[in-house]
Structure 1
Amino acid sequence: MSGPLEGIRVLEVAMYGFVPSAGAVLGEWGADVIKVEHAVTGDPQRGLRQTGLLRVEGDPNPNIEHANRGKRSIGLDMSVPEGKEVLLELAKRADVFLTSFLPGHRQKFGIDVDDIRAVNPNIIYARGSALGPRGEESVKGGYDMTAFWCRAGTARTITPPDMPGMIGPPGPAYGDTISGTNLAGGIAAALLKRERTGEPSVVDVSLLGSGLWALGHTVALTNHLGERMEAFPPGTQGSPANPLVGLYPTADDRYISFVMMQPTKFWADVCRHMDLEELIDDPRFATAEAIAENTATANEILTEAMQKRTLPEWSERFTTLAGPWAPVQDTLQAAQDSQIRANEYLVPAGELELVSNPVQFDVAAPSTGPAPGFAEQTDDILQELGLDWDRIIELKTAGAVT
């Protein structure tokens, strides 16, 4: 089955996680993505082996595979005139130019909007930045930890007020991947606009803007009230006025999350599933007002009841529970979740399984492949430009390509 972007060509001049993850999404949507890597060093992400407390030895390396699946790689030195010539030839044939380079470097290498549009007026020029395309700090770089996590507000919002320091992101490239998906969506919209109007766009997405958007509901709420959203202390139940919104421990030291926003609608059903039928008509829980007043008591009752069975036992019982609930899972447990497997949210990519981008077309998982080896398709890509072997050897001798 062909993807919706079949026939679209993307030239990616980017590194690390954010912008390359946009290229990965476009590739899973069917685009042909050519990844331009420095002719000697390649994408620095290839050397990333230690992430947090986890270390990867040998290949495949998920740190490069996640954001570079299914692409083709060419080793190219843009600072060499012959290398710049090859880059512009690739740009002539591309629908999208995708870059993470800062303004100064785009000007230095001659790959800014006007430079690329000079050889391809119809190209969509897409930029991923740390802090946005305007303002004094638009020339500065950054990472998802700085721009997405800390500056946009998430770190402070989820850190309990009395806790020193901050709670960090749950894993590597968290803000990068979210922001990259935003950028891919913007590029897809720009492709549609070009098809309808003939006008190419410049597309901008930043880590800062994506971080703020992810926290958009909270930003609107806190600005309206003039109050900061404070995180609940670790281990607290959840809602102070609704016992059906919160965490409950099971007999095997796991947790189940209830999120039933209308407690009177679900109270009786929860009681039946947890062998608490005697509480169905209890006046303390008969109305929303009564439940709010007696939430602490209900929390104690539900906590005691939940601890009588293991998570697998409750999971079987709760298959018929009407209200929303979920087991609290780590990533190893999530990867084995039957619902995740049923929807093919993990897909094979060479020797690894990778999480697919979250968009599916025609109820089918995207097909993908492993990330390319460094400069793996250089010769093929050069031949597609019509270069013969004599010219390819000349370019390699000049250090223009690897």
Structure 2
Amino acid sequence: MRPLEGIRVLEVAMYGFVPSAGAVLADWGADVIKVEHAVTGDPQRGLRQTGTFKVEGDPNPNVEHANRGKRSIGLDMSKPEGREVLHDLIRQADVFLTSFLPQGRRKLGFDVDDVRAVNPRIVYARGSALGPRGAEAEKGGYDSTAFWARAGIAASLTPKGTDGVVNPPVPAFGDTISGTNLAGGIAAALLKRERTGEPSIVDVSLLGSGVWAMGHGIALSLHLDKPFVAAVLGGHGSPTNPLSGIYTTSDGYHLTLALLQPGKFWAEFCRHIDRPELAEDPRFATVELIGQNTEQAVKILREVFATRTLAQWSERFASLSGPWAPVQDSLQVAGDAQVRANEYVLRAGELELAASPVQFDVSAPQLGPAPEFAAQTEEILQELGLDWDRIIALKAAGAVT
């Protein structure tokens, strides 16, 4: 049994952030009903071009990633008949999950007080750009603005002298991280309700998630009163440890070393690169000397790493006791044997998708495909107890699709 089986989530949300929270809850076993506009659906369904990638036809990974495992109902909440259906759905839900701005929630009648008037025990979860308080609480935003730019991530990754700033690595990068945070908050609120009977309002913002992701760097910046500065591209990494940094292989790939105790690992590492004499080199005899002579060590190691391919180094370092990793692109990650062994990428319908990162009882989540637009409308209405005459009347009124 998955941990959230028996929990029903009503998702009134669009794009990537909040729907990705719904996807995680679905991975954990919740029945997630996605409310989409009766005519246009979630605008994310129209997203075909992301960066240099263009998707033709269906299924569309831009939709599937954040919507797998859900059911979809097409509903016009601006119509009185649609509002009645929404209230019926709220009565049967444990969680109300939304990305709508405060003005939209008030206009359509599903702000906190509206929803709690229908179901006092419901957990009300909101995803926002900039948080629920402050002068900008009613403003919208995306992961590229609130998470990536405003939370300091872009500036902290962009080396000085760069023309412009570093962009997010992939679509919905901040959305997915923030959505996982929101799903965790919802799970905690459900536990609180189970123990105390008291429902909570759960808030997660893109800005708050970005600040949390930057937390270590922000703490250092506040303590030292200076901003975190990106390392120069092509630089080694640590100025006092040749075994903590990035090296280029003969085939143009890279690997990263994170042997943070160079004195402990130096001799073993030298054997793994077929340079055992470096372990006896007086320049590197102690951890202090290694630190003082890091520049010389890095120069030597760069020459050594340039003699073998990434695959050859990966095979050689399989028995190295310290942490290291190949620098992989998104396609290489999907084929990584360790990723596959842990089922971090799974099939969901016709596509393979990244699984949400939490596993229970050493088992991967069960992924289902994202629903087609409004595909379960009739099924959901029948579960609410509506007969066919009423369903047909709702369709005729344009309240449902």
TM-score, with length taken from structure 1: 0.99
**2:146 aligned with 1:121:** no
Q: What is aligned with 2:192?
A: 193
CA–CA separation in structure 1 for the residues paired with 2:289 and 2:162? 33
Q: What is aligned with 1:146?
A: 145
Q: CA deviation at 1:322?
A: 1.0
Q: What is aligned with 1:219?
A: 218
Question: What letter matches 1:234 in structure 2?
Answer: L
CA–CA separation in structure 1 for the residues paired with 2:304 and 2:11? 55
Q: CA deviation at 1:252?
A: 1.2
Q: CA deviation at 1:288?
A: 1.9
Question: What letter matches 2:393 in structure 1?
Answer: E
Q: What is aligned with 2:275?
A: 276
**2:103 aligned with 1:97:** no
CA–CA separation in structure 2 for the residues paired with 1:174 and 1:295? 35
CA–CA separation in structure 1 for the residues paired with 2:338 and 2:285? 34
CA–CA separation in structure 2 for the residues paired with 1:159 and 1:313? 31
Q: What is aligned with 1:156?
A: 155
Question: What letter matches 1:109 in structure 2?
Answer: L
Spell out, residue by residue over 1:202-249, the C-alpha distance to the aligned partner (whole angstroms, 9 max, x if none): 000000000000000000001100011111111111111110011111
CA–CA separation in structure 1 for the residues paired with 2:275 and 2:147? 45
Q: What is aligned with 1:171?
A: 170
Q: What is aligned with 2:315?
A: 316
Q: CA deviation at 1:142?
A: 0.2
TM-score, with length taken from structure 2: 0.99
Q: CA deviation at 1:300?
A: 1.1
**2:128 aligned with 1:112:** no
Q: CA deviation at 1:312?
A: 1.2
Q: What is aligned with 2:346?
A: 347
Q: What is aligned with 1:10?
A: 9
**Paired positions, count:** 401
Spell out, residue by residue over 1:172-202, the C-alpha distance to the aligned partner (whole angstroms, 9 max, x if none): 0000000000000000000000000000000
Q: CA deviation at 1:286?
A: 1.6
Q: CA deviation at 1:141?
A: 0.3
Q: CA deviation at 1:380?
A: 0.1
Spell out, residue by residue over 1:100-124, the C-alpha distance to the aligned partner (whole angstroms, 9 max, x if none): 0000010000100110100100000
Q: CA deviation at 1:289?
A: 1.6
Bigger mean CA offset, 175-184 vs 302-311 = 302-311
Spell out, residue by residue over 1:269-295, the C-alpha distance to the aligned partner (whole angstroms, 9 max, x if none): 110000110111222112222111111
Q: What is aligned with 2:326?
A: 327
Q: What is aligned with 1:43?
A: 42
SS in 2 for 1:246: strand
Question: What letter matches 2:164 in structure 1?
Answer: G
CA–CA separation in structure 1 for the residues paired with 2:214 and 2:260? 20
CA–CA separation in structure 2 for the residues paired with 1:164 and 1:305? 33
Question: What letter matches 2:2 in structure 1?
Answer: G
**2:18 aligned with 1:19:** yes
Spell out, residue by residue over 1:47-94, the C-alpha distance to the aligned partner (whole angstroms, 9 max, x if none): 000001110010010000000000000000000000000001000000
Question: What letter matches 1:209 in structure 2?
Answer: G
CA–CA separation in structure 2 for the residues paired with 1:46 and 1:89? 26
Question: What letter matches 2:265 in structure 1?
Answer: F
Question: What letter matches 2:158 in structure 1?
Answer: T
Q: What is aligned with 1:375?
A: 374
Bigger mean CA offset, 301-310 vs 189-198 = 301-310
- The CA RMSD over aligned residues, in Å, is 0.6
CA–CA separation in structure 2 for the residues paired with 1:219 and 1:260? 24
Q: What is aligned with 1:137?
A: 136
CA–CA separation in structure 1 for the residues paired with 2:248 and 2:165? 25
CA–CA separation in structure 2 for the residues paired with 1:233 and 1:254? 18
Q: Kindly report structure 1 stretches of 4+ aligned residues shifted beyond 3 Å.
A: none
Question: What letter matches 1:390 in structure 2?
Answer: D
Q: What is aligned with 2:82?
A: 83
Give 5+ residue unaligned stretches, structure 1.
Answer: none
Question: What letter matches 2:289 in structure 1?
Answer: A
Q: What is aligned with 1:236?
A: 235
SS in 2 for 1:136: coil
CA–CA separation in structure 2 for the residues paired with 1:270 and 1:352? 41
SS in 1 for 2:280: coil
Give 5+ residue unaligned stretches, structure 2.
Answer: none
Q: What is aligned with 2:65?
A: 66
CA–CA separation in structure 2 for the residues paired with 1:282 and 1:198? 67
CA–CA separation in structure 2 for the residues paired with 1:111 and 1:270? 61
Question: What letter matches 1:45 in structure 2?
Answer: Q
**2:368 aligned with 1:362:** no
CA–CA separation in structure 2 for the residues paired with 1:17 and 1:145? 12
